Amino acid sequence: MSRPALPDDTELRDRIRGLDLDLDSKIRLLTGADLWRLPAEPRLGLSAVTMSDGPQGVRGTGDDPAETGLLAPAPSALAAAWDTELAERLGELFATEARRKGVDVVLAPVVNLQRTPVAGRHFEYFSEDPLLTGTLAAAVVRGLQSRGVGACLKHFVANDSETDRTEYRARLDERTLREVYLAPFEQVLAEAEPWSVMAAYSGVDDGTESARMTENARLLREVLKGEWGYAGPVVSDWAATRSTVASAVGGLDLVMPGPDGPWGDALAAAVRAGEVDEEVVDDKVLRLLRLARHVGRLDEPGPAAVPAEPAPQEFRLLREVAARGTVLLRNQENLLPLPSDGIHSVALIGPNAVAPYLQGGGSAYVRAVRTVSYEEGLRAALPENVRLTVHRGGDARLRLPYASADLLTDPDTGQRGVRVDHLDADGNRIGGEARATGDWTMYDGFAPATHRVRLRTAVTLTEPGTHRLEFGCSGRFSVNVDGEEVLSGADDRGVELVLESSHSHPPRRGIDIEVGAEGRRLELALELTVVDAGGYGRFVTAQVRHAPPGPTPYEEIAEAVAAAQVADVAVVVVGTNEEVESEGWDRTGLDLPGHQNDLVRKVIAANPRTIVVVNAGAPVLLPWADEAPALLWAWLPGQEAGHALADVLLGRREPSGRLPWTLPARAEDVPVPDARPRDGIVDYAEGVHVGHRAWDRAGLVPAFPFGHGLGWTRWSYESVSLSPTPVSATAPCPAGGDGLNLTVALTNTGPRAGCEVVQVYLEPPQDAADRPVRLLAGFATVQAAPGARITAEVHVPARAFQIWDGEAGAWRTPPGRYRLHVGRSSRDPHLTAEVTVGDGRVHPAV
């Protein structure tokens, strides 16, 4: 890979030297000023640079708790469109949203790989494939940075699961690291030059060095900055830095968040003691100044203003991404799209039909400016004479809803709500308030001297039957009901509670309460010690949840099935929820939660015109998939979910998505079933055989293969021609430069206009040592009217032919005969061409 041209930094270097900044002033710039902002330095002309989370939308800094934003479909949904132009447009929208919120750097995209389907942040990653990931992420970066907002490529590297994510080492050989996990980072850096990179929480052991990624000199200094020529800063993941000298000399440039951390005075002392060269500090300052210059925070009045409110075209783009990313997995007898007439009733069924899961949990969370439910979207799109009924069919969530304010009484005033008292270390009350809610997650509305928080309320239950109360708290706490302790905790950790997400999803304890005709009143008292989470602030978390007497899941399923029987069409929406897919933990299995499989099977049996919609970001097992007349995968679709689904069901937009990962039929077939560390190690024993490559190697049949998707029309693949270009021993660019160009002719033979993703898979020589059976080598997205013949141009980069030679420390191209399979998925080839590689060139096979 050729190194990108380094910026002319003469003026910046002269500025640092000319001002003669003292060591402490320079080091102050290397730790965040607060949770999201970098320090300013007027003497350098440096204004504060502001960062924000951003994989599914720009969250903002949290200065205004009521701040809302645009909620885009999850990255896996964008990846399903296989469309770089669409990805770049979404990046541009993120940039506009960032400027709307005063944000200079968006902490996205995420280019870790979907190594295992149970990974907690699977929804936040693009794909199980490195080429698809790198190509789409590069497009997002180009879109962001074209409008002056920096991208932060993360999480460098091999941070592909959540269990013990701040502690584990990923153990993998250098070839696997180079060909699979470093590959998307290298590609994005070459094609889009992101202005910042984030080092992961976890560590890497590649056989040469074993270290946390914030300290990994081989990967940060030698590979990222040296070999690849990366000129921007390496930012720590939040609270990931654990050392002073090791991280400073290892290649980290910025510790986040601040103002505290392991650098500051400790780093200054290390420099004065000769443990860290001051030139290392100067290089870090220079990299931060480059970032500030890119985003307009160096000697500039600041970025241009953008409209304060989202424009209609921004909502339309989110709707388009959600619809185009939707994957049509099955469509028996062309049930979809639904006809414009002849339908008089629709039954909308399922727990996710009632409560759609729009976004994954954790740092990707955005408080949406608006949300369109599936019910709202269908009601707006269906003719007025079509009757729409909605039925949950059982709750798929384990956690109960928060207790309604109507049940809660402040014991001091008799008004609705919960009384909170702020206590100092001696138990003296120094403040307090009342709020009408059972949700006290990350409550921080108290003075700095507060040591404990006490919540008091009376719960009044009037409906006869069995009620259930549920409590969840973080840290050190006690929960008393009518003076009796029912739950307690003694966890004195701080920031770790945030990093594992138990600050927002604490362990819970439920109790059943029998209520007679006379009703019942319960006195609740919760006492919590304030958690000090460093840069994340000081807070307590307490949750009071309640479920009244009601129908059982089986009774709800029966009611839904009865509705399906009399409807012209049944639309069943099943999927995951915030308890299943989130940052902070990995899933324990692939089954749909609750009784959703029973619900689907019974509705299918009741109505032959059943459309099943899966609302999930990561794979789930669908044991009834072959029975579903029509099956759509709708991802975590963001705020425009209802409009996008209505567009698809009614044929207003084609579901042109293709799976960016493999959907298993059985849990026992999954190549990497979990990512639990063993003795602190996550062993990448599968090597280069990740995702669809592993399925091909094992010869197993998934429910639906990588790249699968139907759309509204049919395609005839007619011919493929090759235009060879030199394939050098070391490709100048991992996904561009030298390689091979394919021209594929195809015709839309169906009745409707459509979009096709032409996919090219490279099959290396059979005698190649431990190479994938097939690997994705290129793709192109084309559109055509019915009957139209078009051509797709697909570039296969030189890197697709290469392997990493560990002994030589370089890329090499094994000679031999290669096959190129052109088709609609990894398991559906339509055309094949052969080439031979020798003397550094690709030749048509003879």
Q: What is the pLDDT of residues 384-398, one digit of tens each?
A: 999 999 999 999 999
Residue 569 is encoded by which pair of tokens? 């069409």
Task: Kindly tell me if the per-residue pLDDT of 231 is higher than 60.
Answer: yes
Distance set, CA 537 to CA 531, 542, 583 (Å): 8, 16, 19
What's residue 20's pLDDT?
A: 75
Coil, helix or strand at residue 131: helix
225: pLDDT strictly greater than 90 = yes
Residue with tokens 């460098």: 156
pLDDT of res. 846: 60
pTM summary value: 0.95
User: What percentage of the chain reaches a pLDDT higher than 90?
Assistant: 90
Give CA–CA dist 712/714, Å, rounded: 7
The residue among 507, 503, 582 whose CA lies nearest residue 539 is 503
Phi, psi (rounded to 5 degrees) for 42: -55, -35
- How many Å apart are CA 692 and CA 772, to the nearest integer? 9
Tokens of 601: 């099977």
Q: What is the pLDDT of residue 232?
A: 98
Quick: pLDDT tens for 554-567.
Answer: 999 999 999 999 99
Rounded Cα distance, 482 and 523, in Å: 5
State the pLDDT at residue 6: 58
Residue 735 has pLDDT above 70, yes or no: no
For residue 181, the Cα-to-chain-centroid distance in whole angstroms is: 17
At position 234, the amino acid (one-letter code) is: V
pLDDT bucket at 376, cuts 50 / 70 / 90: very high
Catalytic one among 83, 160, 206, 237?
Answer: 237
pLDDT in tens, 580-624: 999 999 999 999 999 999 999 999 999 999 999 999 999 999 999
**Within the chain, what is the greatest distance between any pair of CA atoms?**
91
User: Residue 257 has what pLDDT?
Assistant: 97
pLDDT, mean of residues 63-68 = 88
**Region 633-652: what's the mean pLDDT?**
98
Question: What average pLDDT does the segment 77-85 reach?
Answer: 98
| 83 closest CA partner among 758, 790, 828, 797 | 758
Give pLDDT tens digits for 466-489: 999 999 999 999 999 999 999 999
Q: What is the pLDDT of residue 840?
A: 63
Is pLDDT at 736 greater than 80 in this prediction? no
pLDDT at 4: 56
Residue 308: predicted pLDDT: 85
Look at residue 7 in the predicted model and tell me its pLDDT.
Answer: 64
pLDDT band at 766 (very low <50, low <70, confident <90, very high): confident
> Over the chain, what is the mean pLDDT?
94
Q: Which two tokens stand for residue 272?
A: 């004065």
What's the pLDDT band for 727 if we cut at 50, 70, 90?
very low
129 is an active site residue: no
> How is residue 835 written in tokens?
């080439």
Q: How far apart are CA 641 and CA 646, in angstroms?
A: 9
**AA identity, residue 181:** Y
**815 has pLDDT over 80:** yes
Q: What is the pLDDT of residues 425-439, one digit of tens each?
A: 999 999 999 999 999
Res 734 pLDDT > 80:
no
Position 729 pLDDT exceeds 70: no
DSSP-derived 3-state class of residue 232: coil
Q: What pLDDT score does 732 carry?
A: 43
Mean pLDDT of 76-83: 98
- Check residues 843 and 349 and name the one with the higher pLDDT: 349
The stretch 524-543 carries a mean pLDDT of 95
Q: Give how far Cα 12 sits from Cα of 9, 41, 299, Å.
A: 5, 14, 11
**pLDDT band (50, 70, 90) for residue 63:** confident
Indicate if the pLDDT at residue 740 is higher than 50: yes
The per-residue pLDDT for range 239-286, each reduced to its tens digit, is 999 999 999 999 999 999 999 999 999 999 999 999 999 999 999 999
Residue with the two structure tokens 């896996």:
76
Please state, for a pLDDT cut of 70, what percent of the chain lies above it. Answer: 97
Q: Structure tokens of 340?
A: 């414009």
| Tokens read off for 535 | 């840069």
Q: pLDDT band at 121, cuts 50/70/90? A: very high
Question: At residue 842, does pLDDT exceed 80?
Answer: no
